[in-house]
Amino acid sequence: MHDIVTYPTSLAQWQALINEATVDAHIRLNEDLESYLVFLLMRFSTKPEIAHSVLAIDFLSAFSDNAPDRSGQLQLVGDKCLLLAGLFPGRAERKHVRISYFIHLGQSAYSSLSSVSTPSWAPLFNALSDAFIPLTDVLLTARSLNQVPALTPLQAEELYSDTHSSVAKRTLPEGMLEPVRKI
How confident is the model over 97-135, as pLDDT tens digits? 999 999 999 999 999 999 998 999 999 999 999 999 999
Q: Torsion angle of alpha carbons 164, 51, 35, 28, nearest 10°? A: -20
How confident is residue 180, by pLDDT bands cut at 50, 70 and 90? very low
Give the count of beta carbons closer than 10 Å to the beta carbon of residue 20: 16
> For residue 65, what pLDDT is reported?
66
**3-state secondary structure labels for all residues of 44-83:** HCCCHHHHHCCHHHHHHHCCCCCCCCHHHHHHHHHHHHHH
Measured in residues, the chain has a length of: 183
> For residue 49, what pLDDT is reported?
72
